[in-house]
C-alpha cells in the first residue's frame, strides 16, 4: 500500500476536529480534539488509523509487575486478569497477553486504581465510562466464554510473577483498527498487533 504523505495525514486528522504537530519523529496533538466522525465506515476508519504513524522510539519496556498480597487476593487478581484477557481477546494467546499487559501498565500509573480488579472494572457500574467494554455491555451475562480459560489463567499468573509482554511496551489503551475512538489523537501510537492498535500517554 502506498504510504500517505504527512500532508494527507494532517488533513485526515483535521477532519477529526483536532490539530496535530509533527515533532521528534512522531505526531503530537496540540489542540483538544472533538469526537471523530460517527459516519466513518470500516475502510475509512482503517485508512485514518493507518495514516497515523507509530511513534519513533515509543516502545519502551514495561517494568515487571510482582503481585504482593495474600493467596486469596492473588487468586482474585488472576480471575480479574483472566476474565479481561478472555473477553477482550478471546482465545488468541498474544491478544490475551497484550490485554493483561495493558491492565498492569495501568496499575502502575497513579491516575488509575491501584489494584488489578480495580483497573479491570473501573467505571463498570455506569452505562458509559467503563474502561473495558465487556464490563458494562452485558457480555458477562450474554456471552459466556469457555474456550481459553486455562490459557488465560496461566497467562495471568505468569504476568503477576513478573512476565512482561514486550510487544505492547507501556501501552495503556488499545482499540481495533476499524474504530476511531475520541481519545486516539491525545495519545502516542506505539504498536499494532494484527487488528489491534496500542497507545501510551505522551512522553512515556
The pLDDT tens digits for 148-170 are: 889 999 999 999 999 999 999 99
The 3-class secondary structure across 125-189, one letter per residue, is: CCCCCCCCHHHCCCHHHHCCCCCCHHHHHHHHHHHHECCCCHHHCCCCEEEECCCCCCCHHHCEE
Q: Supply angle C-alpha 109, 166, 146, rounded to 5.
A: 85
Report, as an integer, the average pLDDT of 115-134.
78
pLDDT at 39: 78
CB 78 within 8 A of CB 87: no
Asked whether residue 10 carries a pLDDT value surpassing 60, the answer given is no
Q: Which of 24-38, 110-124, 127-141 has the lowest mean pLDDT?
A: 24-38
Residue with cell 505468569: 158
pLDDT at 91: 86
Report, as an integer, the average pLDDT of 184-197.
94
Asked whether residue 18 carries a pLDDT value surpassing 80, the answer given is no
Distance CA 103, CA 122 (A): 11
Between 146 and 122, whose confidence is greater? 122
Q: Which of 46-55, 61-70, 131-140 has the lowest mean pLDDT?
A: 131-140
Name the pairing type of β-strands 196-200 and 26-29: unpaired
12 band by pLDDT with thresholds 50, 70 and 90 = very low
The pLDDT mean for the chain works out to: 81
Asked whether residue 82 carries a pLDDT value surpassing 90, the answer given is yes
Burial class (CB in 10 A: 0-12, 13-18, 19+), 68: exposed
CB 116 within 8 A of CB 77: yes
- Report in angstroms the alpha-carbon separations of 176 from 46, 56, 71: 9, 21, 35
Report, as an integer, the average pLDDT of 9-17.
43
Amino acid at each position: 500500500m502506498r504510504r500517505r504523505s504527512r500532508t494527507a495525514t494532517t488533513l485526515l486528522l483535521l477532519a477529526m476536529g483536532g490539530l496535530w504537530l509533527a515533532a521528534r519523529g512522531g505526531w503530537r496533538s496540540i489542540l483538544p480534539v472533538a469526537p471523530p466522525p460517527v459516519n466513518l465506515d470500516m475502510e475509512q476508519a482503517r485508512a485514518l488509523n493507518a495514516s497515523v504513524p507509530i511513534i519513533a522510539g515509543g516502545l519502551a519496556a514495561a517494568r515487571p509487575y510482582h503481585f504482593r498480597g495474600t493467596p486469596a487476593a492473588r487468586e482474585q487478581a488472576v480471575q480479574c486478569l483472566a476474565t479481561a484477557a478472555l473477553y477482550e481477546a478471546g482465545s488468541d494467546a498474544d491478544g490475551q497477553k497484550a490485554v493483561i499487559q495493558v491492565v498492569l501498565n495501568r496499575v502502575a500509573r497513579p491516575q488509575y486504581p491501584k489494584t488489578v480488579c480495580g483497573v479491570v472494572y473501573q467505571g463498570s457500574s455506569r452505562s458509559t465510562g467503563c474502561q473495558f467494554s465487556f464490563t458494562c455491555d452485558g457480555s458477562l451475562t450474554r456471552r459466556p466464554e469457555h474456550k481459553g480459560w486455562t490459557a488465560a489463567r496461566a497467562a495471568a499468573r505468569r504476568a503477576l510473577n513478573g512476565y512482561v509482554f514486550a510487544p505492547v511496551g507501556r501501552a495503556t489503551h488499545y482499540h481495533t483498527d476499524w474504530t476511531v475512538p475520541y481519545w486516539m489523537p491525545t495519545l502516542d501510537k506505539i504498536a499494532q498487533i494484527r487488528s489491534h492498535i496500542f497507545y501510551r500517554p505522551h512522553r512515556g
